Every structure is written in C-alpha cells, then in structure tokens.
Structure 1
Amino acid sequence: MTKFLLAVHVLAAIVAVGPVTVAASMFPPIARKALAAPDDSQAVATTGLLHRICRVYAAVGVVVPVFGFATASNMGVLGDTWLIVSIALTALAAVVLAALVLPRQSAILDAIPEGRGNRAATVRLAMFTGIFNLLWATVTILMIVRPGSTTGA
C-alpha cells in the first residue's frame, strides 16, 4: 500500500505542482507584454490562460499533501524532522500561492484592459513566484534526501 500511496503522491506533485510553477513563472513576463500593449489580444489571452492554469492546478494540488500524509503515516515517519520541515514549507508555499501570487495575478489581469497596470507589480509578482518555486524546490530536495533515511540516499 505504501508504494501505491507514494506513487500517487509523486504523480500528483508532478501533475499538479509542476504546471503551477511553470505557469506562474511565465505569467509576469507575458503580463508585462500585455500591460505594454493592451490591444495585443494574444498576450492578454495568454495571461488569462496562465492564471487559469495556476488556479485550477492549485486546487488539484491539494491531493499532494493528502497523499503525502497517508504515505508518511504508512511509513511511520510522521514525527521525523525532515517531514515536519517539509510540511511547514509546503504550508508556507500554499500561503504564498494563495495570498501573494494568485491575487496579484488577478489584479494584473484586471488592470490590463484599463491600462492602469505597471511594471513594478509584475516585478513583485515575479519575486513572490520565485519564493513559491524555491519553497517547492526545497521540499522536493527534502523528500529525496530525507535526512536520517535508512535508504542510503
């Protein structure tokens, strides 16, 4: 059962978190282009698509920690420090996405047709997106290295 739960956890992370990290990273430069030329329908449509990808896959991403907890419980590692740190970083990444990235994407999308957006907003968004991505990279490394693991990794 542990192998099944771990496989679902890893697949969910790849399928759900991967698209969010890529789409969120692509959003600021495309948004800058759309803000500079609000009549560029392709850039405007692309920013909307990237935001939708981020929202949808963020919601789907909820299954990642659900299966992560189930896997950790089956493995008997719920109290391990590396896992507790990973859980805290995952929660922080979720907060960054929900409170800092997605709302700023929405605000920029709203500003495009009105021509009132600015480059500084996209720069701040890029910074928060980078923090989100760095948190996920750190969690991924902790999941692979697992300090104190007996697997020899």
Structure 2
Amino acid sequence: MTKILLSLHVLAAIVAVGPVTVAASMFPAAARRVPVAAAVGGADGAGAGDAGGVGTVRLLHRICRVYAGLGIAVPVLGFATAAAMGVLSDAWLVASITLTAVAAGLLAAFVLPRQEELLEELADGRSVERARTARLAMFTGVFNLLWATVTVLMIVRPGSTTGA
C-alpha cells in the first residue's frame, strides 16, 4: 500500500504543482506584454492584440487557480504516505510540511490575489506598473523555490535510514 500511496503522491505533485509553478512564472511577463501588444497593433489592431494578451493572462491565472485547488491532494496523499511509512515525526518531513504550508500560504495570500488584481486592470484596458509585475514575479519565485526545496528534501531525506 505504501508504494501505491507514494506513487499517487508523486503523480499528484507533478500533475498539480507543476502547472501552477509554470503558469505562475509566465504570468508576470505575459501581463507586462499586454499593453505593448495593444500599442504595437495601432488603432485598428489594438483591440485584437489586447484581447489576445488579456486572454493569455486570464488563462494563466485560471491554470494557477484550478491546479492550486487540485494541489490539495499532494499534502493529503503525503500525510497518508508518511503515516504508512512511519516517518511522520522525522525532521526532514516536518521541514517539508512546514515549507509546503508556507508555499501554499504564499500562493493563496500573495500570488493569486495579485494575479487577480492585475487581470482586472488589464481587462479594464489599464496598463500595469512594471514594479507590480516584478513584485508578483518575486513572490512567484519564492513559491517555486519553496517547492524545489521540498522536492529535494523528499528525495534526499536527511537522516533517512533507507539509503536513498
């Protein structure tokens, strides 16, 4: 049963967290390009270029939101796997759980709300400040770094007696 739980946990992490990290990373740059695309299109092409740019940003935000919801399966399956392996109190797992909670909090409190704000501005035809997209990129980078750290902890498992 442990192997099945571990397989499901890893698959959930790849399928749910992977798209969030990629889409969230692409969002700030895509948001910055929207006004440029509208300006380059000129008077006749501005609407079409802007709609495509806003559509891309909207899609990236939707991917982040939907897959963040699906990402709940990762810690649920992780707890089940850890319980089956008898490692719930191991330091590497406690550190991973803590970092996962921080990453989830960062996504919920800073990344998704800022994406929504920028998307609303773009949908209203307003341009976004580069500093705001830069801050969003910073929060997204920290989110991605936290997930990378959790991944390394899951593989290396400091203090593990399994030899992995």
Tell whether the structures are fold-level matches, with TM greater than 0.5: yes
- The percent of aligned pairs where both chains have the same amino acid is 67
Asked if the contact 2:20–2:68 (Cα under 8 Å) also holds between the matched residues in 1, the reply is yes
| Paired residue type of 1:107 | E
Partner of 1:78: 88
Partner of 1:65: 75
Long gaps (5+) in structure 2:
39-46
**How many equivalent residue pairs?**
153
**Larger Rg: 1 or 2?**
2
Aligned ranges 1:30-109 → 2 under 5 Å: 30-38=30-38, 39=47, 40=49, 41-109=51-119
Per-residue deviation, 1:116: 4.4
131, 137, 154: which is aligned to 1:143? 154
Measure the CA separation in 2 of the matches of 1:88 and 1:35: 39
Q: What is the alpha-carbon root mean square deviation over aligned residues? A: 1.0
Partner of 1:7: 7
The two structures have a TM-score, normalised by structure 2, of 0.90
Q: Give the ranges of 4+ consecutive aligned residues of structure 1 lying more than 3 Å apart after TM superposition.
A: 35-39
Asked if the contact 1:19–1:53 (Cα under 8 Å) also holds between the matched residues in 2, the reply is yes
Long gaps (5+) in structure 1:
none
Partner of 1:110: 120
**3-state SS of paired residue (1:114):** coil
Measure the CA separation in 2 of the matches of 1:102 and 1:37: 24
Asked if the contact 1:35–1:118 (Cα under 8 Å) also holds between the matched residues in 2, the reply is no
